[in-house]
Structures are given as C-alpha cells and as structure tokens.
C-alpha cells in the first residue's frame, strides 16, 4: 500500500483528499503546514507528496526546493487553486502540477503515474 503525504493548510482539503485517497487504497498522512515536513518525510517515508503552494506561513515552492535537496527522487505533486504558478521556475522541480478541484480524478491519475514510475526505495 502506497503512503501519501498531503501538505495543505486547509483542513477541508486535507479531509477530502484523505478520505478519497484512502478509498483508493492509499495510506494517507496529512500536515497542516510545512513546518515539520522534512522530519515527517524522514520518519514516515511517504511514496509521494501532494503539496499545496500557497499556505499561510510557508510557500510550497520553497518547501519543494528543500525536499529536492535531500529527497530528489521522491515524487511531488504541486497542488494549487491557481494555475498561474505553473510558469514559476521553482515549480519545474515538481513531478506534476494539479489545479485544486472537488473532482479529484486528475490528482488521482497523476498520483497513479507518479507511483508507477517511482524508483523503488
């Protein structure tokens, strides 16, 4: 069972994604911000991270840069309500970019691809 880490400051998003992805058979861990992100990755060894970009105290783009320094092969899906971040140079370090929606089919598809192409740990 693949383990997915969801990092989003909106509780409703974390709950929705968690329920939907658990229904798909994934183990899900959630974080309300990026404060302890690297520690949680070290401890939990997620197979993929779904990372919000605009959070109150943290930028998902900055967190992505920190992740890439230590976990360069860990798939990361940037998830934002804004498509404008797709052109940000920092966003190219992500494996995929998905615009938030109540329909999670695109996120689920990108997650499936990311997990299928991941090099086993």
Position 102 scores a pLDDT of 85
Q: What is this structure's pTM?
A: 0.91
Average pLDDT (90-112) is 89
Q: What are the counts of helices (DSSP H) followed by strands (DSSP E) for the chain? A: 4, 5
Domain 3-116 = CATH 3.40.50.2300: yes
Alpha carbons 93 and 82: distance in angstroms, whole number? 17
> How sure is the predictor about 57, in pLDDT bands with cuts at 50, 70 and 90?
confident
Determine what percent of the chain falls in helix, strand and coil, rounding each to the nearest 5: 45, 20, 35
Position 117 scores a pLDDT of 82
Average pLDDT, the chain: 90
> How sure is the predictor about 112, in pLDDT bands with cuts at 50, 70 and 90?
very high
> Per-residue pLDDT tens for 38-47?
999 999 999 9
Nearest to 92 by CA among 118, 64, 59: 64
> How sure is the predictor about 83, in pLDDT bands with cuts at 50, 70 and 90?
low
> How sure is the predictor about 80, in pLDDT bands with cuts at 50, 70 and 90?
confident
> Per-residue pLDDT tens for 11-40?
999 999 999 999 999 999 999 999 999 999
For the chain, percent of residues with pLDDT exceeding 90: 69
């Amino acid at each position: 069972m693949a383990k997915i880490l969801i990092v989003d400051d909106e509780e409703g998003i974390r709950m929705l994604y968690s329920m939907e992805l658990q229904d798909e058979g994934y183990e899900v861990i959630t974080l309300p911000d990026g404060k302890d992100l690297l520690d949680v990755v070290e401890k939990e060894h997620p197979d993929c991270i779904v990372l919000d970009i605009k959070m109150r105290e943290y930028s998902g783009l900055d967190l992505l840069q920190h992740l890439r320094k230590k976990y360069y092969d860990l798939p990361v899906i940037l998830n934002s309500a804004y498509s404008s971040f797709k052109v940000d140079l920092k966003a190219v370090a992500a494996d995929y970019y998905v615009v938030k929606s109540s329909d999670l089919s695109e996120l689920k598809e990108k997650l499936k691809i990311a997990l299928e192409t991941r090099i086993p740990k």
